Structure 1
């Protein structure tokens, strides 16, 4: 389904306004009728007239995502001109260099700096009021942090709480990673491999495990995305695929996702993905451990259970004693994943929680009943994961899209190839580079595969290893054919050495799991009602008619 055409060009200020709108519009869109009080309050909150409010509510009902609310007011205000993207960037630069400093310069000083930059570049100087308007768009907490210090910002804006509380189901979700205290074995030779990484999500109100993701890879934006997907989607198909006959009723979009300050939580894919679906992303304050206590206690509970399995590293060397975890390792990654699922739904959810004094499963029912609105699923489930995948921005060339030295093509790119003036977002799944998703100007994600469909599916990890080997061999101009030839040779070496070295078995296991997890992806083009617009700007062609 297409989205608001302004999404592609939205700067940060416009995006922040859309996020603020979504928080107000979402509860209105769920109501059958809007009362005068609802309308009046929303109009005051958003600073819009009734007609504009009805338009925004209507848009959101058709497409309940933040980007549907990106549109500008029709035309600039009387007596004002809309600034160009270049001028907006210039003001941002001046603000960063001049205004956001501990000396706390005035807006007049900021305007003077803008004037200097404009004169040096031959640009028309914006008005003092226009500059002040841009200052008002900056997050006041961040502005105070830059001008008065982090402590002043915390005292002014941080809530005064003794502990992190949630009022209802999916009010606040905490997510964190841990290196599992267990060595696993590979699925082919069943020899010691490595300790996997576990990403866990907990619903604070009920203490239910909202979702998890187990992987051989270190924490990344992709592991966060896959944990979020597991958390949000109904889990019946996932449980059935593993023949687990137990209920796991947690699903739906949360109000808030709370994370620590790891790099994988600060990427644009996560920040834009959460905002697109009306989820607030909050970061744990530094040196305030009680803000992350719930997820840390859950991790401790899960690892305590893992310590009873063969191959455990225990919590420390002293506790392990003379026990050799690699010698006793017995479980594959798939077996550990199923064991964790059983531990969660069959024991943890069913046992009395020490803080709640009732099982998390019972607390979940109470927490759902406390919600003012029903649990909500993503409007477009197929698109949901894509919104959280990492992305790069690329120009659409006449021969397609180039990403990581690989070329992609599909006829859907024809209207933009060599003509579209802006870069487009190209989302990719590190587990399988054979298909990327190109985000069109209207926000639709189009699946685009390798230009040469004979190319095998490869992972981003395999691609990086191949590029590294070619670089070490002194090959500077790396072409696509050389990359795939190198990947194939490396696969043969890894498979041949699989029974000899742990490193080879680790590479093989990561490759096989990544490609297996993505082999059933749906590459069908998304449905769109914009077909009549595709050829609007294409030149007419001479057609030879045969009788």
Structure 2
């Protein structure tokens, strides 16, 4: 993924011509044609980078799409052990990389150094005054390495970063064992979790006959990676006993010791020492809210809640209930960084979508006709979450740590005050917007009184999404905020002033947005058999990948989108690209655009009716029949069962409920419903009155 950043003296392409950046004074950027004596031009930075002709100058295009292939970073082709090694080396040289930026007066790097590397400073020592040689000495002492080793890491990183700054980590990949890795007699030993066989812990290469692999695999999983912590000598004895039972010669101890060394140390410690090892590998920085955010996107708080409003079906007026909203706020400026509204309950997928919306351009003028642009976008330095499982999971951690190269912090448990900024935003949206709209449920039964939310519901989920987008973009960002300094108390003003201090944020260019979305997809490992790749009773196959057919023990890295099950991406071995593979069974046309939730419901329906065995693939005809039958059942429940309506909202195909299935109250509401323009006019009037009172 290419992450772009505008810098002084940097080059950009604009309307087919190359310009040099002369000055950055947010929100204005001054440009001058390269090798041209003409006048300089000034332009709003948001208008510049969202212009279709704009491209940041870079020497390597990392992503290409050709013949179903999408090119990714070479880091994605590494096994877990190699990937951990790169992360470790990057962590070692990180303060040295920050020092380079500090010398260039890069304020965010100065702040990050003080936040994370105070142990490398003497009391009252200013990092701007430290020489690189001295810092290398201190880093070497901290990690018990030689100065020479650290200089080699740094030189290798700079060599790659010189070509493309976003991929310096590739220079940290170790070449040790590379010759052995590609030997023809290599066998892959896949180590699974003993209690969760679907979970792959590690994959290592060994050079032993096929009959040894299941024996070693069984003993390592069931005897070595356990809290009993049996000695390696005991494990070797158990393996050789099983070898004797199976009539194969024993394995030499030195061979087994080499195999033990190849297993990820992180996996070994987690499985053999349990919770005692978690803090070592999953360090969680808590209590960040005690520190002040020093610049825009220094800290973004993210949380979600049920909305205080009931919404209706836009086609027939039936009330669906209360959707969920996920919000992210920039603590420094109080600008709203992200917003995602749907009936999907809290999940890793929901968090992914919210982060995606925050990083990318919002394009609200084009989508909703706002007067202003929703200007805040890009990659935050740190994201703060609560301790819900939808935040604290491997998928989200990898998204933030590796894809965005950002940081995660969690609130201290049972201390809601640490999420005060996002909670106040949710409260403001409720009091200034939702509680003034038809269908509001207020915050509690005392505020609600005798008001009937269901009877008065008039807005669809898309109406609410549009109203809040316009409110955030055109009103909230320009309202006085009590949490900001008196001399700069408008979020938009504070944001622009902060950009002068930290510079413009790193961002994803429009042409890379689709590829960025692919990079966020979750990953799993699957075999490629004669049928293809099987995931949850679905088959994916591509004729050009027939060379991947192998034993079920050989598994490949796969990316999948739970919002569209009609395709996956698979990475062939020893390559750096993923190949897009369409579904073949059920047929592509039958499930194109269908999400995993919908497909799961259809399979459950077929099984409940006795028309499908658990591991059988549903046919095209069965899916169409299930859709029709499920639609009839939903029609019967639709009038009285709100849960059914919310369930339907998470599906792609919508049930057309006839007018005879809508009760008289819903008919009256629909017939007497105000136009959207009238609703917006009333809402803006309420917002203005609220602002005048403040």
1:261 aligns with 2:387: yes
> Which residue does 1:71 correspond to in 2?
173
Q: 1:312 aligns with which of 440, 451, 455?
A: 440
Give 2:23's aligned residue: none
Query: Compared with structure 1, are the counterparts of its residues 50 and 415 closer, same or farther at alpha carbon in structure 2 (3 Å cutoff)?
Result: farther
Conservation of the 8 A alpha-carbon contact between 2:442 and 2:448: yes
1: CA distance, partners of 2:375 / 2:360: 10
Q: Secondary structure at the match of 2:603?
A: helix
Equivalent in 491, 495, 509 of residue 360 of structure 1: 491
1:469-512 deviation line (CA, Å, top 9, x unaligned): 22222345232206523443246426855974545544444324
Cα 1:479/1:158, change in 2 over 3 Å: closer
CA distance in 1, matches of 2:569, 2:96: 31
CA deviation string 1:62-108 (max 9, x = no partner) = 472697467224349xxxxxxx9779899999897559xxxxxxxxx
The answer on whether the counterparts of 2:300 and 2:329 sit within 8 Å (CA) in structure 1 is yes
Report the 3-state secondary structure (helix = DSSP H, G, I; strand = E; otherwise coil) of the residue aligned with 2:474.
helix
Q: 2-side partners of 1:243 and 1:389: how far apart?
A: 30
The 3 A distance-change label for structure 1 pair 290 and 217 is same
Instruction: Measure, in 2, the Cα distance between the counterparts of 1:86 and 1:512.
Output: 37
**Equivalent residues in 2 for 1:334-349 (5 A)?**
334-349=462-477
1:472 aligned onto 2:612: no
Counterparts in 2 of 1:145 and 1:208: CA distance versus 1, 3 Å = farther
CA–CA distance in structure 1, aligned partners of residues 260 and 358 of structure 2 = 43
Are 1:22 and 1:278, in contact at CA under 8 Å, matched by a contact in 2? no
Candidates 146, 157, 160, aligned match of 1:56:
157
Tell me the distance in 1 between the aligned counterparts of 2:384 and 2:288: 15
Q: After the TM superposition, which residues 30-429 of structure 1 pair with which residues of structure 2 at under 5 Å, given as runs? A: 37-38=131-132, 41=135, 44=139, 48=149, 50-60=151-161, 61-62=163-164, 64=166, 68=170, 71-75=173-177, 97=226, 113-122=231-240, 124=253, 146-147=275-276, 163-236=290-363, 238-274=364-400, 275-305=402-432, 306-357=434-485, 358-371=489-502, 374-377=505-508, 380-418=512-550, 422-429=554-561
Q: Is the 8 A contact 1:98 1:113 kept in 2?
A: no
Q: Aligned residue for 1:453?
A: 588
Q: What is the DSSP-based 3-state SS (H/G/I as helix, E as strand, rest coil) of the residue aligned with 1:450?
A: strand
Kept after mapping to 1: 8 A contact 2:75/2:83:
no
SS of equivalent residue, structure 2 residue 409: strand
Q: Does 37-46 or 50-59 show the bigger shift?
A: 37-46
C-alpha change, 1:126 and 1:201, in structure 2 (3 Å) is farther
CA distance in 2, matches of 1:352, 1:139: 54
Per-residue CA deviation, residues 392-447 of structure 1 (Å, 9 max, x unaligned), is 32112223222221122234533423479632233333332222232444343332
Displacement of 1:382: 2.2
Larger radius of gyration: 2
Deviation (angstroms), 1:466 = 1.4
Taking structure 1 as the reference length, the TM-score comes to: 0.76
Q: Please identify, of 429-438 and 304-313, the stretch whose mean Cα deviation from structure 2 is larger.
A: 429-438
CA drift at 1:387: 2.8
Q: 2:632 aligns with which of 493, 497, 502?
A: 493
Say whether the 8 Å CA contact 1:258–1:284 is kept in structure 2: yes
1:541 maps to which residue? none
Contact 1:459 1:514 (C-alpha < 8 Å) held by counterparts: no
Contact 1:65 1:276 in 2 (8 A): no
Question: How much does 1:348 deviate?
Answer: 1.6
- Say which is worse superposed, 316-325 or 118-127, in terms of deviation: 118-127
**Could you report, residue by residue, the CA deviation over 1:334-377 in whole angstroms, capped at 9, with x for unpaired residues?**
11001111121122211111111301112212332332775343
Give, in whole Å, the separation in 2 of the partners of 1:149 and 1:400. 37
1:328: how far off?
Answer: 0.6
Q: Is the 8 A contact 1:494 1:508 kept in 2?
A: no
The answer to whether the 8 A contact 2:387-2:410 is kept is yes
Would you say 1:511 and 2:648 are equivalent positions? Answer: no
1:38 CA displacement: 4.8
1:511 partner SS: coil
Q: 2:638, 2:337 → 1: CA distance?
A: 38
CA distance in structure 2 between the aligned counterparts of 1:391 and 1:66, rounded to whole angstroms: 23
Structure 2 runs not aligned, ≥5 long: 1-62, 64-70, 105-129, 179-187, 192-201, 204-218, 241-250, 656-694
Change (3 A) 1:114 1:264: same
**Counterpart secondary structure, 1:210:** strand
Shift of 1:314: 0.5
Is the counterpart of residue 436 in structure 1 residue 579 in structure 2? no
**Change beyond 3 A, Cα 1:374–1:317:** closer
Instruction: Look up the SS of the partner of 2:628 in the other structure.
Output: helix
For the 8 Å contact 2:612–2:618, the answer to whether it is kept is no
Unaligned 5+ segments in structure 1 are 77-83, 100-109, 516-547
3-state secondary structure, aligned to 1:286: coil
Q: CA-to-partner distance for each residue in 1:132-160, whole Å, 9 max, x for gaps?
A: 9999869999999944999x999x99677
In the aligned structure 2, how far is the partner of 1:258 from the partner of 1:450?
Answer: 37
Q: CA deviation at 1:248?
A: 1.7
Q: Which segment is superposed worse, 290-299 or 344-353?
A: 290-299
Contact 2:326 2:339 in 1 (8 A): yes
**Deviation at residue 59 of structure 1 after TM alignment:** 3.4
Q: How many residues align?
A: 496
Question: Are the counterparts in 2 of residues 4 and 67 from structure 1 also a CA contact under 8 Å?
Answer: no
Q: Which moved more, 1:137-146 or 1:326-335?
A: 137-146
Find the counterpart in structure 2 of residue 10 from structure 1: 79
C-alpha displacement of 1:453: 3.4
Separation of aligned partners in 2, 1:132 and 1:449: 39
